[in-house]
Amino acid sequence: MIDRLADPTSASWYEASARARIDGLLDAGGFREFVGPEQRRMSPHLPLFDLPRAFDDGMVVGEGILDGRPVLVAAQEGRFMGGAFGEVHGAKLVGLLRAARQRKPAAVLILFDTGGVRLQEANAGETAIAEVMRAIAEVRALGVPVIGLIGGRAGAYGGGGLIAGTCSRLAVSESGRISVSGPEVIETNRGAEEFDSRDRALVWRTMGGKHRRLTGGADAFADDTVAAFRAAALNLIGRAPAFDLATLEAEQARLEQRLARFGDCREATEIWSRLGVNDPAAVPATTASAFDALLSGLGETTHDAR
Amino acid sequence: MEKLSFRHATPGPLPGRKSQAITGVVASGNLEILLERVLEPTVCTVEIETPIRGYGDVWEAVIADFVARARPGGLRITINDGGARPDTVSLRLLQGARLMEV
């Protein structure tokens, strides 16, 4: 039941479907899907709006093997309704996380690709977001790392951005974006002077993978390949912090320090400059390896918080 | 939402032993196709849900052409359409049949 990638080493994460990402991420042949498309658990709400449904409601969940160890995995299909959280879509992720409490896998991997809550079934979607965040806290409290991988076309927005914030660790690529309100939402509410959603360079340097990595919002920066995300996931599982009071207090302190240090900045490049980046304007064009070299010269982007 | 259903007689089973496959995504101009090897080998059914009304004749022709080319005996095929063009539908169907042949 899986899309095959011709070559996972070079295949683009951004371009791959949710099923192809799972196929390239996990060890070959070990994925077993829960509530697969043949069960036809589709949205009960979309027909009311005369909108087409998907057999998996845009969420693929199941179990597999990553580098010889059992993991649970969830992948959003960003091309179906922007990967948005509907009732079934959200319930599948909640169910997977609750299963993780019993199974205690080596990790839970969430392959984000979402614009947030699906507006046609918003109450169910909002409820699912809250349930997912609670379930992640419970899974982490049992010592199971929850790793978020963000590099799809829809990014991780709205409730997806909130959920990402509750994960143990996040890996993000250049094209991955993490935020709550999307560019168009900000522009609609506050005007183009506040945020010009058509300025793609502005969008990426404010919400994109490099900025999130530089400010400690994401913990690994990956090339846009399935192989790079697999390597990042393996690395992050080994570096997941404990989920205890000390970690939460460290996160609170980190965020307070960030606000005090950068709160008056008007532009992401100002923040990068204050972090010690010599040529902020050149950051968006740097390759992943050059970016990693840049990061290693800056102390505070890697932390024990979250 | 328009629902269409077609049933074709086939000379025998589609080669291969794969029990099910899915291909494509429900997105604008695209579609997803679920193929399940659950029927008698002399029958193929195709059920379609599409938000684009009034193209039953085109669907009928595309499905008939696919059945003649792929001879997908034994398959129950279900389609969620996102407004795909006939050539896209045809390619996805052939892609799905190929996935079942491994």
The complex's ipTM works out to 0.95
* Mean pLDDT of all residues belonging to chain B: 97
Smallest CA–CA distance, residue A57 to chain B, in Å, is 10
In a domain, A138, yes or no: yes
- Closest CB to B25 among A17, A40, A50: A17
- What is the tens place of the pLDDT at every residue in A125-181? 999 999 999 999 999 999 999 999 999 999 999 999 999 999 999 999 999 999 999
Here the tokens at position A257 are: 């320090």
Residues of A in contact with B36 (CB under 8 A): 38
Is the pLDDT confidence value at A1 over 60? no
Q: What is the pLDDT of residue A7?
A: 78
In a domain, A158, yes or no: yes
For residue A150, CA distances in Å to A131, A144, A185, A254 come to 20, 19, 20, 22
Asked if A35 and B55 touch (Cβ cutoff 8 Å), the reply is no
Which run of H or E residues covers position A74? strand A69-76
Smallest CA–CA distance, residue A80 to chain B, in Å, is 5
Q: Tell me the C-alpha distance between A107 and A230, whole Å.
A: 13
Other CB atoms closer than 10 Å to residue A259's CB: what's the count?
Answer: 10
Of A130, A178, A2, the closest CA to residue A73 belongs to: A2
Q: Which CATH architecture has domain B2-100?
A: 2-Layer Sandwich (3.30)
Q: What is the pLDDT of residue A9?
A: 76
In a domain, A207, yes or no: no
**Which CATH number covers residue A37?**
3.90.226.10
Does any CB of chain B come closer than 8 Å to the CB of residue A29? no
Q: What is the pLDDT of residue A300?
A: 64
Interface test with A, best of B4, B20, B22 (most A CBs within 10 A): B22
- Closest CB to A1 among B21, B27, B80: B21
- Closest CB to A79 among B27, B34, B49: B27
In a domain, A281, yes or no: no
Is the pLDDT confidence value at A305 over 90? no
| A256 — pLDDT class (breaks 50, 70, 90) | very high
Mean pLDDT of A215-241: 95
Q: Where are the domains of chain B?
A: 2-100
In a domain, A303, yes or no: no
Asked if A203 and A183 touch (Cβ cutoff 8 Å), the reply is yes
Is the pLDDT confidence value at A221 over 60? yes
- What is the tens place of the pLDDT at every residue in A18-72? 999 999 999 998 899 999 999 999 999 999 999 999 999 999 999 999 999 999 9
In a domain, A302, yes or no: no
Residues of A in contact with B22 (CB under 8 A): 1, 19, 37, 55
Asked if A177 and A207 touch (Cβ cutoff 8 Å), the reply is yes
Does any CB of chain A come closer than 8 Å to the CB of residue B4? no
Domain count for chain A: 1
Overall residue count recorded for chain A in this entry: 306
Residues of B in contact with A23 (CB under 8 A): none
Is the pLDDT confidence value at B10 over 60? yes
Overall residue count recorded for chain B in this entry: 102
Of A173, A171, A154, the closest CA to residue A89 belongs to: A154
Does any CB of chain A come closer than 8 Å to the CB of residue B36? yes
| A2 — pLDDT class (breaks 50, 70, 90) | low
Interface test with B, best of A38, A45, A51, A153 (most B CBs within 10 A): A38
- What is the tens place of the pLDDT at every residue in A77-117? 999 999 999 999 999 999 999 999 999 999 999 999 999 99
Please give the residue range of the domain that contains residue A174.
18-178+217-242
- What is the tens place of the pLDDT at every residue in A287-303? 999 999 999 888 666 77
* Mean pLDDT of all residues belonging to chain A: 94
| B102 — pLDDT class (breaks 50, 70, 90) | confident
